[in-house]
């Protein structure tokens, strides 16, 4: 599975570049299919970008947003394969990536999950992920879905997903406790919630301070919303903390759903 994920990481970058560049220039030439690729016609290319993510409020041009999210430097400090491994075996499971953006994590999970839902409140990112989807091999295309959500509601069906990923998104949510309670309903009992966000330090990458939430505050909000906390890691990533939470099989006594 790790070898497949490495292949998909490489070809996913090809996908993003082959979708983004034609929008600004001319259509890139495709290449023959590869059995190790998620992509029907990968178009290899290379591009550097400032690794600092912009606020998810549409700041800057959309091309700049995509370039920031897909920066090759992000693979170094974000460690996507390690992050995904925290969810455990995804075989037979449905995963929601909330605040999916370009699908940086979404598409990396497709090879190992039963289904992955890329959720965002920005129609431009939904369109972008759909543009990538049409170029996937059929076996992967059927596992992937995009969903335009509301700022206050990810629009998950009751107990629809087994795991949720919230990466670089938590600080952009308004009423987070209420949002988490709504999210709680969409997760199966025993399902996992992975939150990764930037530490409140002076960092070389990351959003402005107003979009950062202290780790202790995230913990309080998760517990208030009914989640239990399985793991906290402040060392694995240079600029971010990791929180792995769970929806208990039985509701917590101190939570109000």
Contacts of residue 232, defined as CB under 8 A and 6 or more positions apart, other chains included, come to 215, 219, 241, 242, 243, 244
Positive or negative: CA dihedral 144, 149, 151, 156? negative
Please report the pLDDT score of residue 66 as a whole number.
82
Q: What is the mean pLDDT of each run of 10 residues along the chain (257 residues)?
A: 47 44 32 36 32 43 79 86 96 97 95 97 96 91 96 97 97 96 98 96 84 96 97 96 94 54
Please report the pLDDT score of residue 209 as a whole number.
85
Please report the pLDDT score of residue 175 as a whole number.
95
In 3D space, the residue among 213, 228, 126 whose CA is nearest the CA of residue 175 turns out to be 213
Please report the pLDDT score of residue 45 as a whole number.
30
Contacts of residue 123, defined as CB under 8 A and 6 or more positions apart, other chains included, come to 148
Please report the pLDDT score of residue 10 as a whole number.
41
Please report the pLDDT score of residue 28 as a whole number.
29
Q: Is 234 exposed, middle or buried (0-12, 13-18, 19+ CB in 10 A)?
A: exposed
**CATH code for the part of the protein at 68-246:** 3.40.50.150
Give the number of other CB atoms < 10 A from CB of residue 44.
12
Quote the CA–CA distance of 198 and 203 in Å, as a whole number.
9
Which own/partner contact pairs does 199-208 have at CB distance under 8 Å and 24+ positions apart? 199/234, 199/239, 199/240, 199/241, 201/239, 203/239, 204/52, 204/239, 205/51, 205/52, 205/53, 205/77, 205/239, 206/52, 206/53, 206/239, 206/240, 207/52, 207/53, 207/54, 207/55, 207/168, 207/171, 208/55
Please report the pLDDT score of residue 21 as a whole number.
35
């Amino acid at each position: 599975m790790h070898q497949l994920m490495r292949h998909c990481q490489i070809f996913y970058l090809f996908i993003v570049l082959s979708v983004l560049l034609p929008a600004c220039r001319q259509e890139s030439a495709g290449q023959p299919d590869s059995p190790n690729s998620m992509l029907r016609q990968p178009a290899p290319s290379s591009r550097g970008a400032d690794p600092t993510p912009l606020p998810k409020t549409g700041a800057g041009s959309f091309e700049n947003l995509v370039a920031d999210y897909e920066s090759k430097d992000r693979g170094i400090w974000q460690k996507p394969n390690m992050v995904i491994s925290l969810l455990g075996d995804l075989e037979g499971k449905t995963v929601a990536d909330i605040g999916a953006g370009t699908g940086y994590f979404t598409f990396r999970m497709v090879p190992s999950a039963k289904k992955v839902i890329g959720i965002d409140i920005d129609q431009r990112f939904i369109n972008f992920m759909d543009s990538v989807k049409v170029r996937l091999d059929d076996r992967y295309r059927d596992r992937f879905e995009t969903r335009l959500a509301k700022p206050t509601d990810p629009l998950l069906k009751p107990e629809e997903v087994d795991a949720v990923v919230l990466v670089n998104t938590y600080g952009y949510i308004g009423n987070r406790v209420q949002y988490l309670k709504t999210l709680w309903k969409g997760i199966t009992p025993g399902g996992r919630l992975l939150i990764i966000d930037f530490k409140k330090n002076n960092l070389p990458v990351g959003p402005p301070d107003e979009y950062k939430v202290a780790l202790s505050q995230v913990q309080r909000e998760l517990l208030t919303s009914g989640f239990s906390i399985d793991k906290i890691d402040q060392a694995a990533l240079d600029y971010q903390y990791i929180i792995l939470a769970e929806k208990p099989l039985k509701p917590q006594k101190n939570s109000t759903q």
